[in-house]
C-alpha cells in the first residue's frame, strides 16, 4: 500500500486525485491532506479517504475543521505551519497541487529521501526552478510530472536517451479565444475567458489558458524539469487536446503522448508509476475523432505567451517576476479591475521595471522577489486601463 499526501486537496487537481483513489480502494493510504479555505470540502474528503491528518491553510478555520472531523480520529491543524506539517509527514508520495507560488514552501518541505513527488504546481519550477531541481536532487526525491503536457513528454522520453532529443513540443488548446480577433479579445469579459473549450479547471489557470500564459509557464517548467535548453522547446495550438506533448529525436522520429482530455489519466500514471491503473476514462477513437489539427501560436494576439518565452530565455529571476506579476494581473481581471490585454501589459511593465539578473537560490529569495514584483505589479494596475 502506497502512503500518500495531497497538497492542494480541494482544488481541481486534488479532487481528480480523490476520484482516482476512490476507484482503487486498498491501493493507497492517505497520510495527509492540505486545503486552502474550503473547510467543508476538506473535511468531507478526509472522511471519505480516511486520511490521518488534515490541514487548512486559513489560520482562522482551525476550530471549524476540528469540529467537522470530531469523532473520526483524524488529526487536524490550521495555518501555514499546519500545511508544512502535512508536507513533512512520513509518506511515500506527495502530490504537489497547491495553486500558485503559495505551493513553493510546502513543496520544498515535502522533498525527502526515498519519496516521490507528483508535481502539479508549476510555480515551483517557474519561480525557483534551478533551486527546486537542485534541492530535489540533493534530498533524493524522484519528481514525476502530473501536468498532462509534461506527463506526455515524460512518457515519450522512454523511447530514447536524453542525448537523442532534438526538440520538445507542448500543445495548447488555444483556449476560448483561439478564433477571436485582437479587438474582440480586448473587450473580453471574465465570463468569456472562463469558457474553456476542453478542460474544467480553477479560475486562475483557466484565465492563464485564455491568455496562453499557461503554455508559456509550462515551457519554463519543462526547461527545468527535463534540463532542456530553451531553444529546444516550443508549443503549438492543437484544439482537439488529444496530443499533449511530442518529443522529436535526432533520427527524425517523433513520439507523441495521446489521450482524451482527462486529468485522471496523468494523475493515475503518476500515482502508480511504473505500473498502470485501470481507469474508466473515455478511450481515444481516432476514426470517430476524424482529424487532428495544429496551428502556430499567434504571439501578437497572445502577447503573454511571448513574454513567458522571453523570461525563459532571459533566465535569472525573470520567470519569478513574470509569475508574480501575472498572479496579480489575473486576480485584477477576475475582479473586473483590469481589461484582458491589461494582464500582459502589467506583466511586461513589471519585467521592465525590475532587476532580473540573479536567479533565486532559496525559498526565501524566491518569495522576496515575488513580493517585490507583486508590489510593482499592483502599482501598475492604476496606470493600465480596465
Question: What are the structural domains of the chain?
Answer: 2-145 (3.40.50.720), 147-261+281-313 (no CATH), 315-386 (1.10.1740.10)
Contact criterion met (CB below 8 Å) for 32 and 52: yes
Least confident segment among 93-97, 199-203, 313-317: 199-203
Mean pLDDT of 191-199: 83
Residue 385 pLDDT more than 90?
no
> For residue 96, what are the β-bridge partners?
7, 119
pLDDT surpassing 60 at residue 386: no
Does residue 12 contact residue 200 with C-beta atoms inside 8 Å?
A: yes
pLDDT at 168: 98
Mean pLDDT across the chain: 95
The pTM of the full predicted model, rounded to 2 decimals, is: 0.94
Q: Which of 169, 124, 188 is nearest to 320 (CA)?
A: 124
pLDDT level of residue 201 (50, 70, 90 thresholds): confident
What's the CA gap between 192 and 290, in Å, rounded? Answer: 28
Q: How many CA atoms lie within 13 A of 330 on its CB side?
A: 23
- Sorting pLDDT into bands at 50, 70 and 90, what band is 382? confident
pLDDT for residue 383: 81
pLDDT (0 to 100) of residue 231: 96
Structure confidence at residue 200 (pLDDT): 67
pLDDT at 199: 67
CA 31, CA 5: separation in Å to the nearest integer? 5
Contact 5, 31 (CB under 8 A): yes
Amino acid at each position: 500500500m502506497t502512503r500518500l499526501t495531497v497538497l492542494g486537496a480541494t482544488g481541481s487537481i486534488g479532487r481528480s486525485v480523490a476520484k482516482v483513489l476512490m476507484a482503487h480502494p486498498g491501493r493507497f493510504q492517505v497520510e495527509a491532506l492540505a486545503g486552502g479555505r474550503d473547510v467543508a470540502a476538506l473535511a468531507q474528503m478526509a472522511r471519505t479517504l480516511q486520511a490521518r491528518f488534515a490541514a487548512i491553510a486559513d489560520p482562522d478555520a482551525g476550530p471549524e475543521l476540528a469540529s467537522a472531523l470530531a469523532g473520526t480520529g483524524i488529526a487536524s491543524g490550521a495555518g501555514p505551519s499546519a500545511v508544512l506539517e502535512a508536507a513533512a509527514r512520513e509518506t511515500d508520495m506527495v502530490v504537489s497541487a497547491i495553486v500558485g507560488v503559495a505551493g513553493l514552501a510546502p513543496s520544498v518541505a515535502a522533498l525527502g529521501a526515498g519519496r516521490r513527488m507528483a508535481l502539479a504546481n508549476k510555480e515551483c519550477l517557474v519561480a525557483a526552478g534551478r533551486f527546486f531541481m537542485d534541492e530535489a536532487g540533493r534530498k533524493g526525491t524522484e519528481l514525476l510530472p502530473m501536468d498532462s503536457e509534461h506527463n506526455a513528454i515524460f512518457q515519450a522520453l522512454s523511447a530514447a536517451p536524453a542525448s537523442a532529443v532534438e526538440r520538445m513540443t507542448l500543445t495548447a488548446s488555444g483556449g476560448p479565444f483561439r478564433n477571436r480577433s485582437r479587438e474582440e479579445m480586448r473587450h473580453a469579459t471574465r465570463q468569456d475567458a472562463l469558457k474553456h473549450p476542453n478542460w474544467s479547471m480553477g479560475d486562475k489557470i483557466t484565465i492563464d489558458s485564455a491568455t496562453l500564459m499557461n503554455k508559456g509557464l509550462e515551457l519554463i517548467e519543462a526547461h527545468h524539469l527535463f534540463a532542456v535548453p530553451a531553444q529546444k522547446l516550443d508549443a503549438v495550438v492543437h484544439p482537439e487536446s488529444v496530443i499533449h506533448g511530442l518529443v522529436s529525436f535526432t533520427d527524425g522520429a517523433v513520439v507523441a503522448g495521446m489521450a482524451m482530455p482527462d486529468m485522471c489519466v496523468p494523475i493515475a500514471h503518476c500515482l502508480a508509476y511504473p505500473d498502470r491503473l485501470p481507469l474508466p476514462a473515455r478511450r481515444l477513437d481516432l476514426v470517430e475523432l476524424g482529424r487532428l489539427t495544429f496551428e502556430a501560436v499567434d504571439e501578437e494576439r497572445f502577447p503573454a505567451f511571448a513574454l513567458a518565452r522571453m523570461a525563459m530565455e532571459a533566465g535569472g529571476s525573470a520567470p519569478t517576476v513574470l509569475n508574480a506579476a501575472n498572479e496579480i494581473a489575473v486576480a485584477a481581471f477576475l475582479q473586473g479591475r483590469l481589461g484582458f490585454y491589461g494582464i500582459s501589459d502589467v506583466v511586461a511593465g513589471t519585467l521592465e521595471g525590475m532587476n532580473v539578473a540573479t536567479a533565486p537560490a532559496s525559498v526565501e529569495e524566491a518569495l522576496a522577489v515575488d513580493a517585490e514584483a507583486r508590489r510593482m505589479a499592483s502599482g501598475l494596475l492604476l496606470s493600465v486601463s480596465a
